[in-house]
Structure 1
């Protein structure tokens, strides 16, 4: 092709057709420029396509993390609710002057103040951060994921787990003082049930542990709501771009 254009130029110069040669040269330059622009456009298209493929792949992995966190948060919330109900039953028993001891109460004592820490699943999000969060082209989705994985879930881990640990620590103190040794936390037999019923320190612990668990439930519910929001935006965005 280059030899073909060179022959045309040489022929025009030989025939002393300078004006035509000038027009031809300008046209040739424009043709080359158009070719370069087209090549750049194709290259940009290929690069954008690669970025979009990487974005889709990364977000699908993040969606798996989101789904896993939703399942775990729901499971934790259900367990928290059972612990709350157990605590309420114990408080009712303690307030009833006519209540008597039976072995089933051991399990109830064991459940109250159970240490139940939550750790978020965020491996895919951390991988995405290494690639660069700018890979996500939707700013709203990007912000929601940042708030979820860098604020909501970490706060649930740090503050919530610290609170749960404090409850468990105080439960251990109660176990040493008022329950038989050599038993697990899941089945605690009181040294003297009737005396324990009238023990203000243990009753205060019982009510405080319930209040703490309710606060934990509230935090986990907020995190679950934010995780569900992230799931909705993720699925909506992936439907738009993964076609």
Structure 2
């Protein structure tokens, strides 16, 4: 093709047709420029297509993380509701005139005393932030909501860290200090296969009585009951933040799925 253009230019020069030569030369330049522009356009289109492919991959991974967190907030809210219900049972028993019925609060003991960290899945989001790829998200609404959700997550985790310290100091440490858990272990039918001997009914009754005495001592312990009282005080603010996180997650999932389907 280049040889062909050269041949035309040479022929025009030899025929001394300078006017036509210059017109042809200008036309050739215009064709070259148009070719370059087309090439650049194709290159930009390919780059945009590659970037969009990466963006869609991130969006799909974000959806997986958000779906996992959707379950997390539902489970966390349910767990905290059970802990609140257990705290109410313990507080009612604390002010009961008859503390001989301590066995009634045993089913609520685990819900009250157990602690589980909130493990939020932010793997994809954190990867995008650390790699500088957050700006690859072309939908500004999605980007803004991701940042807003991350801010809420950090606030929740900071609050949970403070509550974890309170739970450990007031509840867990007092339980470990006052309760002789081996007495409960003996009376737990689920642990029967672990122990290598049989216990008589009289022995079982003695162990259970000792456990009940410890439990009454625990319930009337100032530090422990302060920890129990703190659960209802903190619950409502926790419930609000958990529900807000759940709503934001659902909203983001819907927005991201719409963006993916628009491709």
TM over 0.5: yes
- Number of the residue aligned with 1:132: 133
Structure richer in helix, relative to its length: 2
**1:107 alignment partner, SS class:** helix
Worse-superposed segment, 31-40 or 161-170:
161-170
Is residue 218–residue 224 contact of structure 2 (8 Å, CA) maintained in 1? yes
State the distance in 2 between where 1:132 and 1:209 align.
41
How much is the aligned-residue C-alpha RMSD, in angstroms? Answer: 2.5
Deviation track 1:107-158 (CA, whole Å, cap 9, x = no partner) reads: 3233224322202111112222215111111112111112223x22222222
Superposition map of 1:1-80 within 5 A: 1-80=1-80
Is residue 170–residue 224 contact of structure 2 (8 Å, CA) maintained in 1? no
Assess, with a 3 A threshold, how the Cα gap between structure 1 residues 6 and 233 changes in structure 2: closer, same or farther: same
Assess, with a 3 A threshold, how the Cα gap between structure 1 residues 113 and 168 changes in structure 2: closer, same or farther: farther
State the distance in 2 between where 1:69 and 1:165 align.
24
- Number of the residue aligned with 2:250: 228
The offset of 1:178, in angstroms, is: 4.4
- Number of the residue aligned with 2:88: 88
State the distance in 1 between where 2:143 and 2:20 align.
57
Unaligned 5+ residue runs, structure 1?
Answer: none
State the distance in 1 between where 2:9 and 2:215 align.
110
